[in-house]
Structure 1
Amino acid sequence: MATKAVYISDVPNLDQVPETAASFSLYATRLPIAVDVSKSVDNSPKFTVIGHRGHGMNILHSTDRRMKAFKENSILSFNNAAKHPIDYIEFDVQVTKDDVAIIFHDDFILSQEHVSRDLLGSVVEKRVTDLTMKEFFAYGPQREVSMEGKALARKVNGTVVGWQVESDDHSCTLQEAFEKVNTRLGFNIELKFDDHRVYEEDHLIHALQVVLKVVSEHANDRPIIFSSFQPDAALLMKKLQQKYPVYFLTNGGTEVYDDVRRNSLEEARKLAVGGGLDGIVSEVKGIFGNPSAAREIKESNLGLLTYGKLNNIQETVHVQQLMGVDGVIVDLVEEIARAVEETKTRNGHGGVKSEETEKGLIELSFLLNLISKVIQH
């Protein structure tokens, strides 16, 4: 094993998305770490980049314009994501009261009534799955320019704010996504259910069958991945069909739920193996906080994807490539996709010089150690 001393750097809080660049600078201090640089990253399998809710989720209170460039989970966002070298887009699917699969993230949809042209009044909150498709589409921008929808709002840290983005778009159904989104993009379809509700099996099966009907009729050759935080929904989707892979979504132990299957990477791995699932999608902090669990997931022949704010930093994505993670779900689609492409070019068909490989592995292994320490604090 070849080792070399490197130094911990003075870096910003890694749980914050950098607003000026997708990467951070390294400034050496005095704490050396010995790392293994004996392995090569040459000939690694394809690393998948997935656009979160399309071109990225909307963070309405952020000062970073990239977090409000396009309305999340919209055809506009999906097709702008397709302009970059990514493989999939991820989006959230729910089923309305009248059995239509629509794309929307939040469990509740909020609207503020207009008291006057410039003044907003009381907030009205309704559960998305209690609405019909027509009622759902009455919110936000309308397909007909002459019509005005109910003003969309969102809760941010307990405060209701207007859903203002630079490029807005109307909501869409799952069928419309198949019909209107660039066909080269795969779909990571998150089967969305409320974390705070207990669902009967019949209810889950009915909702999943609504989604499957759309997929079977419109997917054609488009790659599909299903995923869900709802353990039973993931297991049932695998039983209902075998054509498309199903992944279990987990916070990787970063949050605690009543359902123990959701509380650790080990529980997620047991669920996936026992239920014949194809992989796990973990909050990236769960992976960095427990690298051995990530290794065990891969040794169990499961795919491993990650999501979270840390995936908007180039270096943390590079660390995951080194760890054997199969892909990342990201908000900064353009920046991260470009960084991954540059890595592929450097490590491409002809490989790289051994000293360059060694240098890269030292930096990445060092960053993994650093990130783990930052997360613990």
Structure 2
Amino acid sequence: MATAKAVHVSDVPNLDQVPENATPLSIYATRLPMGVDVTKGGNKSSKFVVIGHRGHGMNILQSADRRMKAFKENTILSFNNAAKHPIDFIEFDVQVTKDDVAIIFHDDVILSQEYGIVVEKRVTDLTLNEFFSYGPQRDDGKVGKSLARKVNGNVVGWQVESDDHSCTLQEAFEKVNPRVGFNIELKFDDNINYDQNHLIHVLQVVLKVVYEYAKDRPIIFSSFQPDAALLIKKLQERYPVYFLTNGGTETYADVRRNSLEEARKVALEGGLDGIVSEVKGIFRNPSAVREIKESNLSLLTYGKLNNFPETVHVQHLMGIDGVIVDLVEEITRAVDELKPRNGRGDVKSGEIGDSGRGIDLSFLLNLISQVIQH
């Protein structure tokens, strides 16, 4: 077996940066984990899924790593550059404007600096034309309002290497490579209590676009808002729905959001298809993986630790069904290394093989757990 230098999480003090020469730790398991097929809820699949976070990766404007600012997140440019790699889905955030248009944007508020003054407006209070007035414009020669973002309490310009204008959900269906699936995160403000009628209205706006333009493209719905996740499942049966959770790494007023066990209850009671957890929550409570999988739920993860081949490989061995990642090129290459080659790869599923020497999975989980506590 060829040896490869591993990138250890403990070797990288800043999780916003991953060495560019990172090569994956070679792991060859006897079988791929079995999980719910994310393209058809309820069926079994051996596919370990890789999903591009906000396309080619979220923008971390304070990071010194250029890859975190290569393409403007949640844009057609970012989506299609992600699709150049062997990913299965791209993940993006959908909100609905004041005039009922489904648009793609992550933050709850949009910031702009006008005449030295920071102006903040809620995205859902804007019309489509007002939303499009920020950032790069579609018409040559037209200059849009500056676009900024709050980083660690400071407002900074949204500067990336390759910029692009904002887009609607419909445009994503029309302009993004049709081979890649969409993980549509239904985005709502954590600080607002939404009534059911409002949630239903927003979800119906989104569903109208999906029904008209999705065609054969695989779709996953997900949301941190538990009532939105439950409602989208009731409003349609065609596409899988996942409940997003921080996995106990943060505390919210809604107890349903505060642990993997609560997330499992929500998913089971609502007939959802799976859970998407912050990866730290999984490493802090690895026994939850078995409980979730025994409940016939699919399990995906997100978070900065998914930018490390090492932690992705460990999740593969744990039986997790897929990962949402920022460094799509590096992680898709690492996942390709998981595939057995020419009959090799006969190590035990609980071990990592390296020149005939096994490393126990529990040892790696313990190591990673210690790292993320600091």
Q: TM-score, normalised by structure 2?
A: 0.89
In 2, Cα distance between equivalents of 1:81 and 1:309: 17
Deviations 1:289-347 (A, max 9, x none): 00111210011000100000000000000000000000000001100011101222xx2
Partner residue in 1 for 2:94:
93
Does the aligned pair in 1 maintain the 2:23–2:334 contact within 8 Å? no
Letter in 2 for 1:350: G
Q: What pairs up with 1:1-377 in 2 under 5 angstroms?
A: 11-12=10-11, 16-21=15-20, 23=22, 40-44=29-33, 45-113=46-114, 115=115, 121-344=116-339, 347-348=340-341, 350-354=343-347, 359=353, 362=359, 364-377=361-374
Gaps of 5+ in 1: 1-8, 27-36, 116-120
Does the aligned pair in 2 maintain the 1:60–1:164 contact within 8 Å? yes
Q: Which has the higher contact order (CA 8 A, sep 6+)?
A: 2
Does the aligned pair in 2 maintain the 1:95–1:129 contact within 8 Å? yes
Letter in 1 for 2:366: N
Residue 375 of structure 1: how far off its partner (Å):
2.4
- 1:372 is paired with a residue whose SS is helix
- 1:335 is paired with a residue whose SS is helix
- 1:352 is paired with a residue whose SS is coil
Higher radius of gyration, 1 or 2: 1
Residue 363 of structure 1: how far off its partner (Å):
5.8
Change in 2 beyond 3 A, CA 1:334/1:78: same
What percent of counterpart residues are identical?
75
Does the aligned pair in 2 maintain the 1:315–1:364 contact within 8 Å? no
Letter in 1 for 2:371: V
Residue 367 of structure 1: how far off its partner (Å):
1.9
Does the aligned pair in 1 maintain the 2:279–2:306 contact within 8 Å? yes
Number of paired residues? 350
Partner residue in 2 for 1:33:
none
- 1:123 is paired with a residue whose SS is strand
Letter in 1 for 2:364: L
Letter in 2 for 1:12: D
Deviations 1:200-245 (A, max 9, x none): 0000000000000000000000000000000000000000000000
Change in 2 beyond 3 A, CA 1:263/1:19: same
Does the aligned pair in 1 maintain the 2:138–2:165 contact within 8 Å? yes
Q: Which moved more, 1:351-360 or 1:176-185?
A: 351-360
- 2:86 is paired with a residue whose SS is coil
Does the aligned pair in 2 maintain the 1:235–1:277 contact within 8 Å? yes
Change in 2 beyond 3 A, CA 1:176/1:349: farther
Residue 274 of structure 1: how far off its partner (Å):
0.5
Residue 373 of structure 1: how far off its partner (Å):
1.8
Does the aligned pair in 2 maintain the 1:50–1:89 contact within 8 Å? yes
Does the aligned pair in 1 maintain the 2:83–2:177 contact within 8 Å? yes
In 2, Cα distance between equivalents of 1:240 and 1:353: 45
- 2:62 is paired with a residue whose SS is coil
Q: Which moved more, 1:12-21 or 1:249-258?
A: 12-21
Deviations 1:143-176 (A, max 9, x none): 0121000000000001000000000000000000
In 2, Cα distance between equivalents of 1:295 and 1:333: 27
Change in 2 beyond 3 A, CA 1:348/1:297: farther
Which runs of structure 1 show a deviation greater than 6 angstroms over 4 or more consecutive aligned residues?
Answer: none
Deviations 1:119-159 (A, max 9, x none): xx111000000000000000000001210000000000010
Change in 2 beyond 3 A, CA 1:86/1:367: same
CA RMSD of aligned residues (A): 2.2
- 1:198 is paired with a residue whose SS is coil
Does the aligned pair in 1 maintain the 2:24–2:337 contact within 8 Å? no
Q: Which moved more, 1:287-296 or 1:72-81?
A: 287-296
Does the aligned pair in 2 maintain the 1:42–1:348 contact within 8 Å? no
- 2:311 is paired with a residue whose SS is helix
Change in 2 beyond 3 A, CA 1:25/1:87: closer
In 1, Cα distance between equivalents of 2:21 and 2:90: 19
- 1:155 is paired with a residue whose SS is strand
Gaps of 5+ in 2: 1-7, 34-45
Q: Which moved more, 1:43-52 or 1:12-21?
A: 12-21
In 2, Cα distance between equivalents of 1:10 and 1:87: 25
In 1, Cα distance between equivalents of 2:188 and 2:257: 14
Letter in 2 for 1:222: R
Deviations 1:26-81 (A, max 9, x none): 9xxxxxxxxxx9x9532442100000000000000111000000000000000000
